[in-house]
Amino acid sequence: MPDLTRSPAWQALHNHFEQVRHLHMRDLFTQDPKRFQRYSIKLEDFLLDYSKNRITDETESLLLELARDRDVPGWITRMFNGEKINHTEDRAVLHIALRNRANRPILVDGRDVMPEVNAMLEKMRSFCDAIHSQKWRGYTGQPIKDVVNLGVGGSDLGPMMATQALHPYASRDVSVHFVSNVDENHINNTLDNLKPETTLFIIASKSFTTQDTLVNADTAREWFLQASNDTSAIAKHFVAVSNNVAAASAFGIDEQNIFKMWDWVGGRYSLWSTVGLSLAMAIGMDNFEEMLAGAHDMDEHFRTAPLEQNMPVIMALLGIWYNNFFNAQSYAVLPYDQHLRFLPDYLRQADMESNGKSVTRDGEQVDYSTGPVLFGQLGITGQHAFYQLMHQGTKLIPADIIASITNLRCISSHHRMLMANVFAQAEAFMRGKTEDEARAELEAQGITGEQLNVLLPNKIFAGNKPSNMILYHTLNPRNLGRLIALYEHKFFVQGVIWNINSYDQWGVELGKQLAQTVLGELDQDDEVTSHDCSTNGLINYYKSWRSKKV
Ligand code: F6P
């Protein structure tokens, strides 16, 4: 297979780009009244409308040709068959097994992983039931009222985002909190409102070596022991989720209370595993399994739909189109749903840790752009903040707009107003406002002459800003599962096309290594000279001020 940028499929796209780069979507819509029907895909109530993209039929077919040329179908099969596609860690990539509700055997090293997956789900169910039914009680005999998940990155963002997303499904008897930051303010502020006798900690760490999580776990244990003064009570208040059972046991967690995860689940893909225990505690196992079912719907769609009808594939190809041909450096995820406020944070890790790579699977330096900068916020908040740049700035920022057709508590005009903004913003991004339209509006307001000339250029919107729209009936567990799985597979397809390994994360290691060295130096009072002059200067400045009162 020739290198990506020298492949005929890439070259064809390159030539095509020169022909279509100036086409305006406004004209494409005028020419084709069926554009919406032709460029949208449905999975029951879950809709992806990608008609507001800078593509023609030829663009789409050339992008699909690129996907075939890079053997996307073969890679999909490899992933679902449990092949070790994470080659730098010699691991299979099987988050899809965690939500394999069809229970189709999935073999790793010749062994079906499904019995273990199902057993762990059963273990999660019994534990959640014991907490909710108050059979499991704390050391004073009182029921558990608060659950604190101690984890970071994939061991925090997924369950935290989903707990917020599914807030209407949450139990009123048990509150779930998330502590991730090594900054002690995070844990202290959380513990301030809790009682040790009614609090359960979940230490969630795949590796059980992550400093941030372990230091928070130590602090939690100290806080707990100050009240209970009894180490044997720890078993009733601390459980762990980890792939490193030995380290979790060494921390003092009863082996029965360790919820195992597997090395074939990447941290940022682990929401579906025992890392979801805190979420399951919040929403109950039935809802948790419904979310798995939603992800499985998307997995089946991804596995079986033809490329041209395949949502993750289409979203991935559109991303490549902007990233590699229009040279867009970023894209925005804009949920119009208060419950999805942490979705951009979650997807930021999923995308940027997966595809923030510059070495191919063959160990070569890439000569093309890979993963973009993902940013985002609640769309409605963004409208009053950074949309200005998206509408009239100099950068091309493709966007995904996400909304539900109805809100579980749809009791007033709020949701209609929200939806009006959803549709209006996507339309504004696409069509913009021409000079003639802007002029007519100003004249209708009685503005003429010099004042009009000054204002006019500022009132023009170039438009032609691409956006995808994802719409579904309700943000229920099933649709949340579908939504997250859609993005996971999108990132996978992009990684395949860029020929990078989306499942390792070596780039996070250097900072961790250096922090260990610096930590040792911070423990001593003498002057540090072992780094460059900036790092030495900063450390020494910190040391000179840390014991002073101001
Ligand atoms: O430092 C990055 C990272 O390894 C992520 O990939 C991971 O999600 C996070 O840290 C937490 O890791 P662990 O679950 O092993 O504590």
Three state DSSP letters for 357-403 = CCECCCCCECCCCCCCEEEECCHHHHHCCCHHHHHHCCCCCCEEEEE
What length is written for the chain? Answer: 550
As a whole number of angstroms, the distance between CA 96 and CA 489 comes to 10
Strands 146-150 and 199-204, by their bridges, are parallel
- Which stretches within 21-87 are classed as H helix? 25-31, 35-38, 57-69, 72-80
Residue nearest to atom 6 of ligand 1 (CA): 267
Tell me the C-alpha to C-alpha distance, in Å, between residue 83 and each of 79, 108, 348, 380, 460. Answer: 6, 7, 26, 42, 53
- Please name every residue paired with 150 in a beta bridge, in sequence order, or none if there are none: 179, 203
For 340, the token pair is 């999805």
Number of other CB atoms surrounding residue 511 within 10 Å: 8
List, chain by chain if needed, residues with CB within 6 Å of any ligand 1 atom: 152-155, 205-207, 210, 213, 267-268, 353, 505, 508
Number of separate helices (H) and strands (E) present in the chain: 23, 13
Beta-carbon contacts of residue 349 (< 8 Å; ≥ 6 apart): 153, 154, 157, 268
Is residue 68 within 8 Å of 307, Cβ to Cβ? yes
Q: State the distance from the centre of ligand 1 to the C-alpha of 153, rounded, in angstroms.
A: 5
Residue nearest to atom 10 of ligand 1 (CA): 153
pLDDT tens digits, 168-216: 999 989 999 999 999 999 999 999 999 999 999 999 999 999 999 999 9
Q: State the distance from the centre of ligand 1 to the C-alpha of 156, rounded, in angstroms.
A: 9
Residue with tokens 């289409």: 314
pLDDT in tens, the chain (550 residues): 669 999 999 999 999 999 999 999 999 999 999 999 999 999 999 999 999 999 999 999 999 999 999 999 999 999 999 999 999 999 999 999 999 999 999 999 999 999 999 999 999 999 999 999 999 999 999 999 999 999 999 999 999 999 999 999 999 899 999 999 999 999 999 999 999 999 999 999 999 999 999 999 999 999 999 999 999 999 999 999 999 999 999 999 999 999 999 999 999 999 999 999 999 999 999 999 999 999 999 999 999 999 999 999 999 999 999 999 999 999 999 999 999 999 999 999 999 999 999 999 999 999 999 999 999 999 999 999 999 999 999 999 999 999 999 988 766 789 999 999 999 999 999 999 999 999 999 999 999 999 999 999 999 999 999 999 999 999 999 999 999 999 999 999 999 999 999 999 999 999 999 999 999 999 999 999 999 999 999 999 999 999 888 8
As a whole number of angstroms, the distance between CA 116 and CA 540 comes to 52
Residue nearest to atom 5 of ligand 1 (CA): 153
**Of 508, 512, 514, best ligand 1 pocket probe by most atoms within 8 Å of the beta carbon:** 508
Strands 258-260 and 238-242, by their bridges, are parallel
3-state secondary structure 166-218: CHHHCCCCCEEEEECCCCHHHHHHHHCCCCHHHEEEEEECCCCCCHHHHHHHH
pTM for the full predicted model: 0.97
Q: Any catalytic annotation for residue 195?
A: no
Ligand 1 closest atom vs CA 204: 14
For 357, the token pair is 């790579």
Beta-carbon contacts of residue 46 (< 8 Å; ≥ 6 apart): 470, 471, 472, 479, 482, 483
As a whole number of angstroms, the distance between CA 213 and CA 204 comes to 8
Report which residue type is found at 11. Answer: Q
3-state secondary structure 89-131: CCECCCHHHHCCCCCCCCEECCEECHHHHHHHHHHHHHHHHHH
Residue with tokens 């809709």: 47
DSSP assignment letter at 461: B
Q: Any catalytic annotation for residue 353?
A: yes
Residue with tokens 């990132």: 491
As a whole number of angstroms, the distance between CA 219 and CA 202 comes to 13
Which of 197, 353, 488, 521 is catalytic? The answer is: 353
